[in-house]
Amino acid sequence: MTDTAANGTAANGTATAGTATAGMPAIRSRMSPNLELNQLVEQRRAAGEPLVHLGFGESRLPPFAPLVERVAAGARQTAYGPVAGDLVVRSAGAGYFTRRRLPTEPDQVVVAPGSKPLLMALDLVVPGDVLLPRPAWNTYAPQAALAGKRALAVEIPEECGGVPDPGALRERIRAARAAGHDPRILVLTLPDNPTGTLAPPRLVRELCAIAEQEDLLIVSDEIYRDVMHDPATPYLSPAEVAPRRTVVTSGLSKSLAVGGWRIGIARFPDGPWGEAIRAGVLSAASEIWSTLARPMQEAAAYAFAEPPEIRERLAASARLHGTVAREVHRICVAAGARCRPPVGAFYVYPDFEPLREELAAKQSVTDSPSLARSLLDRFGVVVLGGHLLGDDEGALRFKAATSMLYGATAEEQQQSLDAEDPLALPHVRAPLDRIEEGLMGILG
Amino acid sequence: MTDTAANGTAANGTATAGTATAGMPAIRSRMSPNLELNQLVEQRRAAGEPLVHLGFGESRLPPFAPLVERVAAGARQTAYGPVAGDLVVRSAGAGYFTRRRLPTEPDQVVVAPGSKPLLMALDLVVPGDVLLPRPAWNTYAPQAALAGKRALAVEIPEECGGVPDPGALRERIRAARAAGHDPRILVLTLPDNPTGTLAPPRLVRELCAIAEQEDLLIVSDEIYRDVMHDPATPYLSPAEVAPRRTVVTSGLSKSLAVGGWRIGIARFPDGPWGEAIRAGVLSAASEIWSTLARPMQEAAAYAFAEPPEIRERLAASARLHGTVAREVHRICVAAGARCRPPVGAFYVYPDFEPLREELAAKQSVTDSPSLARSLLDRFGVVVLGGHLLGDDEGALRFKAATSMLYGATAEEQQQSLDAEDPLALPHVRAPLDRIEEGLMGILG
């Protein structure tokens, strides 16, 4: 694994002391930066600092009672069970995908404690290196490194993130092969974390054509699919275009605000190759996590069946996420940043390049670490610097997660969810004003 | 990873078909044999076959109501939270270990969805190859292979399993280094799966001394520690002897019969090296599973605090496991096998070597696969052949898990747990008679 540790994506720490460590090599020890930042914020808040936390993609909404009841009802299920998940949850998952123009049998579905372990298992069992958009969610590259793979990042197009620019992708594959690397897996995020944008159908088709030509497996991370702000936005999954070579991953953490429950799902391609990949993932699953905890399977079976109250909850949540993300986008643009308008998820990804000279002159802000640090130290606004997502450290970009601006209590969060105009609620307006103050004031 | 795939421990399957698979290398796809066997048995039983299932180490006891209530109470916890687990569950875990002569701070503890992901993370972040007892639980070697490591199996002593024979271990390390390998991690199982035995303190001390001399990390899998049949049996953890180089893993699946809940725990050494390994495991955790599901943390916090009703439940369960395991041991010996007497967990590991000639002559049984197949086909008794645990395929050994013999319903299982003499219960006696018939009749 030495090779991958050298490619900049593996996170290594060194620790040696005393005789017990003599001769022991360094241990990998860099925590996923968003989770690390979240822990730091919790500590500083506990110490009394009133931070505005835009550094963690948690949908902070109150527990949805019918879902909570299902976990309680499932708590009497204590036995192991099939690695892939019970038939009832796999059937519900198959229905979920089928309703999204992806006809699916229960045998194509696997549930797991989050989509992370499913993505990790794919890296462990499918040979070859991984092509990623740049920037991308901060877990893809470290997972590739843990699996002994190279993570090959490719710039995103002007119009949207979550996918590589097609021309740049072709060039990167060519160059990687010339260098003896073996790009085999293409990760797409639809809609995207961190940009909050969605690749349009034309672009999805073009990338699927490249995957066919270059014999790539597509891993389509669709965990924010039910957080599209406008249900009328055209959504094309790569699994519709390249059904034999696309694995879709998703989960309930984002759409139903249950990140702490760790419920993920994957849909594997129909046909022998899809079956082989699914068998491989189940093999890894059986050795790494056995199965999704049964009480969580009960909740997942209920949610993926999408009864009316779940559909309403999904719609209300997506509406709120969209309203607040668009407001943060407006603030970023008003402050002078370039920023793609968000259409899904709960992120914006502004670029302060237009203000580079002023930022350098007045604040000594010259790159994404110093930009993020300045926002934190001067305004108490926590963001995730673009460099932590594989982007150029020299660029003036950051990810702002807007999903924790709905109030400090379950009551406030419920009001935000129910409000006609959540932006008018004082507990929503206050952190937005703090953000506005920070971004407008960063030159002051 | 090609190297490790060749060492016999990586499980590879091949699948190719159609144009989509042109040029795609084989996918790892062998499922963990015990989970695979379990699914097979469920299917055959569903089809009406009355099998006696000794092939899966699930403690089949009814849900314990106070524990179930805790999951329900925790279901309103929907947020992520610290990767290592909330302070409350880590504090409870620290208390659990401290009461077992392992003084522990909460910051030394990590909880996870099972002990499997913790063991996997150790393999991913600690460099070097893995030394295992032979036979061993069927997940250690495939995990090593997934992490790109070699699994180096070392024969167990005559007196007990779960640990390598010290002399053989020294020789194996020497030979491995001479061959250019890098043994760095020593896995011990106390008490043992599959033999149901416990390494005595003298042997633990000897192995710890070797670990010190050879600079090995000890991974002490103590998931069956609370399933010691007699609480008076002397138990020495390697973490007492070599505190700076021993990671202890455990969980609730076995002792409290909640395998389907996936609750695992690890205790890391005090000191800089232990902190570095824990940081490494947290790094992997943050990328692979994020955290243990919060409702499960609530149950874990309750259980690890060990209030009186939990201690009673643990004691009653251990008593039942011991009674039934000893009875199966008696049957094996009566049938002519050699077999170490079980003192912990719920396994026996008989060796039919004394009957080799008769088995070959009368039943064409010549190795562990044909022995297991003969028991299944002729008597409907399902066991796990020793070859699936890394043992010699030519040996006449198998693992019999005795923890699913307590009845088909929760009511029967509860009776077994409450009974003065569970062996006198018809629903316990019947499968034992089937086993006796099978083992006594195998020569017939």
Mean pLDDT in each 10-residue stretch from start to end of chain B (444 residues)?
30 31 58 78 86 92 96 95 96 98 98 98 97 97 96 98 98 98 98 98 98 97 98 97 97 97 97 93 96 98 98 98 98 97 98 96 94 92 95 97 96 97 97 94 79
User: Is residue B190 within 8 Å of residue B162, measured between CB atoms?
Assistant: yes
Identify the burial level of B139 via C-beta atoms within 10 angstroms of its C-beta, where 0-12 means exposed, 13-18 middle and 19 or more buried: buried
Report the residue of B34, B38, B287 to disrupt the A interface, i.e. the one with the largest count of A CBs within 10 Å: B287
Using pLDDT thresholds of 50, 70 and 90, give the confidence band for residue A10: very low
What are residue A59's phi and psi, to 5 degrees? -80, 105
β partners of residue A187: A219
How near does any CA of chain A get to the CA of B152, in Å?
Answer: 18
Alpha carbons B346 and B196: distance in angstroms, whole number: 6
When computed from its CA atoms, the radius of gyration of chain B, rounded to whole angstroms, is 22
- Count of helix runs (H) and strand runs (E) in chain B: 16, 14
pLDDT digits (tens, 9 = 90+) for A361-400: 998 999 999 999 999 989 999 999 999 999 999 999 999 9
Chain A interface disruption, residue of B123, B286, B291, B296, most A CBs within 10 A: B286
> Chain B residue with minimal CA distance to A40?
B82
Calpha distance B35→B28 (Å, rounded) = 16
ipTM of the complex: 0.93
- Asked if residues A104 and A94 have their Cβ atoms less than 8 Å apart, the reply is yes
Model confidence at A442: pLDDT above 90: no
* Cβ-contact A37, A56 below 8 angstroms: yes
Compute the distance between CA of residue A232 and CA of residue A320 in angstroms, rounded to an integer.
Answer: 16
Q: In this complex, do B79 and A259 lie within 8 Å of one another by their Cβ atoms?
A: yes
A16 touches chain B (CB under 8 A): yes
Q: What is the DSSP letter of B215?
A: T
**Nearest C-alpha neighbor of A118 from the set A147, A95, A92:** A147
Contacts of A294 in chain B (CB under 8 A): 260-261
Q: Do the Cβ atoms of B133 and B189 come closer than 8 Å? A: yes
Place of tokens 């919060």: B294
- Pick the more confident residue, A172 or A45: A172
Give the chain B residue whose CA is nearest to the CA of A146: B124
Q: Point out the residue among B71, B273, B287 whose CB comes nearest to the CB of A21.
A: B273
Q: Give the gap in angstroms from C-alpha A261 to the nearest C-alpha of chain B.
A: 5
Record: contact A276-B29, CB cut-off 8 A: yes
CB contact under 8 A, A13 and B276: yes
Q: Please check whether residue B32 touches A, CB under 8 A.
A: yes
A-chain residue closest to B299, CA distance: A75
Whether A295 sits inside 8 A of B295 (CB atoms) is yes
Q: Nearest CA to CA, how far is A21 from chain B (Å)?
A: 6
Note which residues in 38-77 of chain A have CB less than 8 A from chain B: 38-39, 42, 56, 58, 60, 63, 68-69, 71-72, 75-77
Structure-block tokens of residue A70: 């299902």
* A-contacting residues in B 309-348 (Cβ below 8 Å): none
Cβ contact B72–A77 (<8 Å): no
**Taking CB atoms and an 8 Å cutoff, what residues of chain B touch A117?**
117, 288-289
Q: How far apart are CA A298 and CA A325, in angstroms?
A: 32
Q: Chain B within 8 Å of A390 (Cβ-Cβ)?
A: no
Question: Which of these, A251, A305, A239, lies nearest to A277 by C-alpha position?
Answer: A239
pLDDT score, position A11: 30
Nearest CA-CA distance, residue A161 and chain B, Å: 21
The pLDDT assigned to A135 comes to 98
Instruction: Name the residue among A272, A276, A289 with its Cβ closest to that of B114.
Output: A289
Question: Using CA atoms, how far apart are residues B111 and B106, in angstroms rounded to an integer?
Answer: 11
Q: Which two tokens stand for residue B193?
A: 């799966």
A68 vs B30, B75, B290: nearest CB: B75
Q: What is the pLDDT of residues A270-316, one digit of tens each?
A: 999 999 999 999 999 999 999 999 999 999 999 999 999 999 999 99
Kindly report the nearest CA distance between residue B441 and chain A, in angstroms: 32
Q: Do A113 and B71 touch (CB under 8 A)?
A: no
A72 with B75: Cβ contact below 8 A: yes
Q: In chain A, what residues touch B81 (CB-CB under 8 Å)?
A: 260
User: Are A143 and B276 an interchain contact pair (Cβ–Cβ within 8 Å)?
Assistant: no
CA separation for the pair B311, B318 (Å, rounded): 11
d(CA A195, CA A431): 21
How far apart, in whole angstroms, are the C-alpha atoms of residue B98 and residue A84? Answer: 36
**Using CB atoms, which residue from B35, B148, B288 is nearest to A290?**
B35
- pLDDT tier, A238 (very low <50, low <70, confident <90, very high otherwise): very high
Are B143 and A288 within 8 A, CB to CB?
A: yes
**Best residue of A80, A124, A215, A254 to probe chain B, by most B CBs closer than 10 Å:** A80
Contact A161, B306 (CB under 8 A): no
Which of B113, B142, B271 shows the shortest C-beta gap to A113?
B113
Output the pLDDT for position B24.
53
State the count of interchain CB pairs (< 8 A) between A and B: 288
Q: Cis peptide leading into A157, omega within 30 of 0?
A: no
Is B17 close to A272, i.e. CB distance below 8 A?
yes
To the nearest whole angstrom, how far is the Cα of B400 from the nearest Cα of chain A? 18
**A24, B184: Cβ pair inside 8 Å?**
yes
Amino acid at B46: A
Torsional class of A417: left (φ above 0), alpha (ψ -120 to 50), beta (otherwise): alpha
Q: Which string of DSSP letters, residue by residue, matches B292-356? A: --HHHHHHHHHHHT--HHHHHHHHHHHHHHHHHHHHHHHHHHHTT-B-PPP-BTTEE--B-GGGH
- Tens-place pLDDT, residues A85-112: 999 999 999 999 999 999 999 999 999 9
Nearest to B124 among A17, A32, A146 (CB): A146
Nearest to A21 by CA among B215, B383, B90: B215
Picking from B255, B290, B417 by the largest number of A CB atoms within 10 A of its own CB, the best residue to mutate is B290
User: Can you give the pLDDT at residue B50?
Assistant: 86
* CB-nearest partner of B127 from A25, A113, A217: A25
What's the pLDDT score for residue B40?
80
Contact A282 B29 (CB under 8 A): yes
Nearest Cα to Cα of residue B350 among B435, B407, B272: B435
As a whole number, the mean pLDDT across chain A is: 92
Q: Residue A259 burial (CB < 10 Å; 0-12/13-18/19+)?
A: buried
Give the 3-state DSSP-derived string for chain A, with helices as H, strands as E and coil as C: CHHHHCCCCCCEECCCCCHHHCCCCCEECCCCHHHHHHHHHHHHHHCCCCCEECCCCCCCCCCCHHHHHHHHHHCCCCCCCCCCCCHHHHHHHHHHHHCCCCCCCHHHEEEECCHHHHHHHHHHHCCCEEEEEECCCCCHHHHHHHCCCCEEEEECCCCCCCCCCHHHHHHHHHHHHHCCCCEEEEEEECCCCCCCCCCCHHHHHHHHHHHHHHCCEEEEECCCHHHECCCCCCCCCHHHHCHHHEEEEEECCCCCCCHHHCCEEEECCCCHHHHHHHHHHHHHHHHHCCCCCHHHHHHHHHHHHCCHHHHHHHHHHHHHHHHHHHHHHHHHHHCCCECCCCCECCEECCECHHHHHHHHHHHCCCCHHHHHHHHHHHHCEECEEHHHHCCCCCCCEEEEECCCCCCCCHHHHHHHHHCCCHHHCHHHHHHHHHHHHHHHHCCC
Write down the pTM of the prediction.
0.93
Beta bridge partners of A290: none
Q: Do B116 and A77 touch (CB under 8 A)?
A: no
**CB within 8 Å: B127 and A259:** no
Is any Cβ of chain A less than 8 angstroms from the Cβ of B287? yes
For residue range A152-207, what is the model confidence (pLDDT) as tens digits?
Answer: 999 999 999 999 999 999 999 999 999 999 999 999 999 999 999 999 999 999 99
Contacts of B296 in chain A (CB under 8 A): 293, 295
User: Which of chain B's residues have a Cβ under 8 Å away from the Cβ of A264?
Assistant: none
